[in-house]
Structure 1
C-alpha cells in the first residue's frame, strides 16, 4: 500500500500517523511538503494529518486548503484515491469541499484533549471494515474547533447515504448529548465522501494504535485500509 502524508507548516501529527502506517503496512509513507504541487500517480492513500496548519489563522484548515498540493489532491480524489483527514485534516477536507459541512468552535469554547468513546456507525467502508459494530471504541480527541455542523438537507443526505462513519457515544454505546464533547450535530465524529473513499474524523486513531500508547482501538482503521488497498 503506497501512502503519502501531506505536511503543512504547523502539522504536528504527521510523524505519528507515519509511524502507525509504517508499523501496520511495513512501508514508509511519503512525507509530502504542501508546497510541492506534484503527487505521485500511483498512490493508494493520501493522509491529511492533525495539527495546526498555518497556525489555524483565518479558519482552521482555510489556508491549507489553498496550498499548491491541493490541486493534486483534488485530482487524486476524482480518480478515487483513498483519503483520510484526521482532526485538522478533516477541517482541510471540509474547507476544500471534498467533504460536506464545517468544523466550528467547540460548544464550550475550550480546547479539549481527552479520550472519548465512539460508535462505529458503518463497517461497510475501506476505513472501518475491521471494526466490530457491536463494540464501543476509545480514541483520543485534541481540538478547539471540532464542532461538526451541517444544514438539515446535508444531515439528511449523510444519513440516507450511510455517510456518517462514527459518532460520539458513552461507554455503554448510547449516542446521547452528555457524550458529545464539542456540540457536533447528531454526535457526528466522522463523515464520508459520496463514494465512501474519503473519510474525515476528529478523533486521532494514530494516537491509540499501539499497546505502548495505552490501547489499540485506533489500529483497526489502518488494518482496514491495508486489507482494502493492498
Structure 2
C-alpha cells in the first residue's frame, strides 16, 4: 500500500504528510504532478501549501493540472483521496467536492489551534473517533472560509457529508468558535462518496508526538489504512 502525496509548484506540506503517514505505518511517497499518478497508488493526498502562489484563486491552477484527471478517475474507482488546506481548495476547484473556500472573514492569514467536533464518525476519515468527539488540530490559511449555496448546503447536511465543524473546547458550535466565517462552521466534508474527503485544518501537524505533543489528527490519516 503506497499513498501518493501530490506535489505541485508551491506545495509545502507534502513532506509533512509523508512523515505523518509513515509514522502511522502507512507507506507514502511524494509524486511530482507532471509525472502522473502511479498506477499502483492505493491512496492520494492533496497537501497544503500555496500551489502556484494562489494565483487566480487558491487551488485554481493546480486543479487544472493533468494529474487531477488521474485523481478524479481514481476517486471514482473508490481510491481514498484526502485534500488538506490548499489540497481542500484544489479538491473543490476540481469538483471532487462541492462548495468553495474563500478569503477568511478576518481577511487575514490565521495560524492557530482550533477545536473540531466530529459530525459523522462513519467515514474513513472519522472512523477512529466517535460522533461528537472534540479534537484539537491547527489551521494555517488565508482562504479557509467554506461557502456553498443554500440548497447544496442543505443537501450536504441531509446526506450527512459534513465531517467536522469548528467548535469550542466543550463541543459547542458557536460563531465565536468559527475562525474564518465558514458556512455552518464547516471545517471538512466528503464528496459524493465518502472515499473523498477535504478539510482545512492540518491533521498531519497533529500526528507526530515529537512535533508538538498533539496526536489528535492521526485518526484522519488512518483512513488510508482501512480495508
How far is the alpha carbon of 1:41 from its aligned partner? 2.6
- TM-score, normalised to structure 2, is 0.96
What does the per-residue CA deviation read over 1:156-203, in whole Å, with 9 as the maximum and x for residues that have no partner? 110011100000000110000000000000000001011111000000
State the partner residue of 1:202.
200
Whole-Å separation in 2 of the counterparts to 1:19 and 1:100: 29
Whole-Å separation in 1 of the counterparts to 2:25 and 2:42: 12
Q: Give runs of aligned pairs for residues 54-203 of structure 1, distance below 5 A.
A: 54-203=52-201
Determine helix, strand or coil for the equivalent of 1:39.
Answer: coil
Determine helix, strand or coil for the equivalent of 1:92.
Answer: helix
Q: Give runs of aligned pairs for residues 22-61 of structure 1, distance below 5 A.
A: 22-27=22-27, 29-36=28-35, 38-61=36-59
Runs of at least 5 residues in structure 2 that lack an aligned partner in the other structure? none
Determine helix, strand or coil for the equivalent of 2:24.
Answer: helix
- TM-score, normalised to structure 1, is 0.95
Number of residues paired by the alignment?
226
* Consecutive aligned runs of 4 or more in structure 1 exceeding 6 Å deviation: none
Whole-Å separation in 1 of the counterparts to 2:132 and 2:63: 36
State the partner residue of 2:10.
10
Determine helix, strand or coil for the equivalent of 2:176.
Answer: helix
Whole-Å separation in 2 of the counterparts to 1:17 and 1:68: 22
What does the per-residue CA deviation read over 1:54-108, in whole Å, with 9 as the maximum and x for residues that have no partner? 0111100001011121111111112111100000000001000110000010001
CA RMSD of aligned residues (A): 1.1
